Amino acid sequence: MSKLTVLEHPLIKHKLSIIRDVNTGTNEFRKVVTEISQLMCYEVCRDLELEEFELQTPLEKTTGYRLSGKKLGLVPILRAGLGMVDGMLMLLPSAKVGHIGMYRDHDTLKPVPYYAKLPADVEERDIFVLDPMLATGGSANDAITELKNQGCKSIRLINIVAAPEGVKAIQEAHPDVDIYVASLDRELNQDAYILPGLGDAGDRLFGTK
C-alpha cells in the first residue's frame, strides 16, 4: 500500500487557513498556493539522494553535497495544478515540466482527458504529479495511469487538500504511488466537493466561476 503523508508544518497550516477563507481574493489565493507548494516541496524532497564532492570555499577545501538521483519532473494536472508549479520550481529549478489536461464532467463527475504533453525523457525522471485537490481521485488516477503508460516508474502525488475517498481510490489503483497532502479533510459532499475544503481551486486561482 502506498504511503500517505500529511504535512503538519505550522506554516503550512497557517497558510492553508488563508486559502480556505471564502473572503480570500484571487491574487492572495494564488500567492499563498505558491507559498504552500514551496513548503510542501521542501518536505516531499527529504529523501532525495545526495552525493559528496570536494568543494573549495574561499578559505579551504571541504565536502559539498549535490542531488545524485534521477532527474526530476513536475506534471501539473490542468488547470488547477498550474498554481503549484512556480512554488515547486523555486526549489527545483532544473526540473522539467509536463502537462496533463483533465476536466470533471459535472453530470457524471468523471474526469475527461483533453491534453497531454510530457518531456521526451519522462520515463527517466522521478515525477511529482501536482493538483491542489484530491477529491474522488479520478483525475489523479487517470494522470498517473498515463504516466505509467509512458514508462514512468517513480511517481509521487502532491495535493494541498484531499478527501479520504480520493486517497483510498489512489491507494487501491496505484499502491506504488506515495501521496503527500497538506490536509486530509473530512469527506466529499453529494457533488463530489471536498468538505470543509476550499471551494473550486481552479476558479479561485484564475478568477473564474
Binding residues for 5-phospho-alpha-D-ribose 1-diphosphate: 79, 104, 131-139, 200
Of the listed 46, 107, 108, 191, which one is catalytic? 108
Which set of grid coordinates corresponds to residue 117?
Answer: 504533453
Q: List, as residue ranges, the binding site.
A: 79, 104, 131-139, 194, 199-201
Q: Of 158, 112, 152, which is closest to residue 131 (Cα–Cα)?
A: 158
Of the listed 5, 20, 86, 200, which one is catalytic? 200
Beta-bridged to residue 61, according to DSSP, are 56
| Whether residue 47 lies in the annotated active site | no
Of the listed 86, 203, 204, 208, which one is catalytic? 203
* Amino acid code (one letter) for 81: G
State the burial class of residue 160 (Cβ atoms within 10 Å of its Cβ: 0-12, 13-18, 19+): buried
| Whether residue 21 lies in the annotated active site | no
How far apart are the C-alpha atoms of 176 and 170, rounded to whole Å? 9
| Whether residue 104 lies in the annotated active site | yes
| Whether residue 200 lies in the annotated active site | yes
Which set of grid coordinates corresponds to residue 78?
Answer: 490542468
Q: List, as residue ranges, the binding site for uracil.
A: 194, 199-201
- Which positions are annotated as active-site residues? 104, 108, 200, 203
